[in-house]
Amino acid sequence: MQLNKINPIGIGTYKLDLENKEKTLDALIYSFNKGQNFMSTSLIYDNYNVVNFLKDFFKIVNKDDIFLTCHLEAYIEKKEDVEKQLDEYLTRMNIDYVDALQVHTSYVSKIPLLETYEEIDKLVKKGKVKYISASNTTFDELKELHKHFNIFSFEGVYNLECKYYENVGLIDFCKQNNIKFVVYQALRRNNIAKMNYPFLVEIANKYNKTQNQILLNWLMKEKKLNTIIKTNTIKNIDTNLKSLDFTIQPEDLKILNDFQDKRFNDIEIDWKNQGGITIDKLASQFKIED
């Protein structure tokens, strides 16, 4: 598919409702028909059941019409594990290739990260992968990967409260080097809206939008980032897509740009998964229970 045609709102597949498969499949098809043509998934989502379910999706939607990113998961202990994991994706979804392949987070690679990416590069040459991507790395790791490979995208945490990758300069690096930054946990699974920050409530009321629509609009139109949003309902899909239908004024954008939650900045990230908070768990902190 044409890269300039990728919808900025991607389809997330983490915690898809597999107890209501028909309804969830209808929602995915609806997303696609509404123009959402980017999808990210992983073998570990619901213990392989999500990728198994997506086989039904690709029976209906032509794979060539969806940009599909897949993750390499724990653990890559030898070079052969890279192609072995990819083949699991291809077999379980009954597809011939994935568009982008990336290591989910650095610590899952027990061999040097560059060696793992050398294997991904071989899969590109074989035609089983179209592009090399990265996810949840340190800034130094991304810069090293960029020296050796043409990195298409970087999937990382970013939202109103948690701006780690912006603070360290990685997002600017991506923009300077034509690496598409794809945001996960853009809404912190509705936890940002649950905080009911007075300034965010006021901005939402001003534009007659939901808090989440304000957040998505800010991310995509002001920050120029792509997002991955999981939803199981057609109503929420429509709500998300309407996030691009308005313009936030500069004075409100400044409020959103300037804010972040210091609690996230105080967390020392455990990059080696030695019992602390890893980067992929960062935005899951400080939840508000229903």
Name the CATH architecture for the domain at 3-284.
Answer: Alpha-Beta Barrel (3.20)
138 exposure class (CB count in 10 Å sphere: 0-12, 13-18, 19+): middle
- CA 182, CA 9: separation in Å to the nearest integer? 9
**Coil, helix or strand at residue 180:** strand
pLDDT in tens, the chain (290 residues): 677 799 999 999 999 999 999 999 999 999 999 999 999 999 999 999 999 999 999 999 999 999 999 999 999 999 999 999 999 999 999 999 999 999 999 999 999 999 999 999 999 999 999 999 999 999 999 999 999 999 999 999 999 999 999 999 999 999 999 999 999 999 999 999 999 999 999 999 999 999 999 999 999 999 999 999 999 899 999 999 999 999 999 999 999 999 999 999 999 999 999 999 999 999 999 998 75
Domain ranges of the chain: 3-284
Residues 24, 230: contact at Cβ < 8 Å? no
* Per-residue pLDDT at 288: 86
Beta bridge partners of 40: 12, 69
* Per-residue pLDDT at 92: 98
Global pTM exceeds 0.85: yes
Query: In sequence order, what are the residues at sequence separation of 6 or more whose Cβ sits closer than 8 angstroms to the Cβ of residue 256?
Result: 160, 200, 203, 214, 215, 218, 222, 248
Q: Following DSSP, what letter does each residue of 229-270 receive, concatenated?
A: E--S-HHHHHHHHGGGSS---HHHHHHHHH---HHHHT----
* Per-residue pLDDT at 240: 97
* Per-residue pLDDT at 290: 57
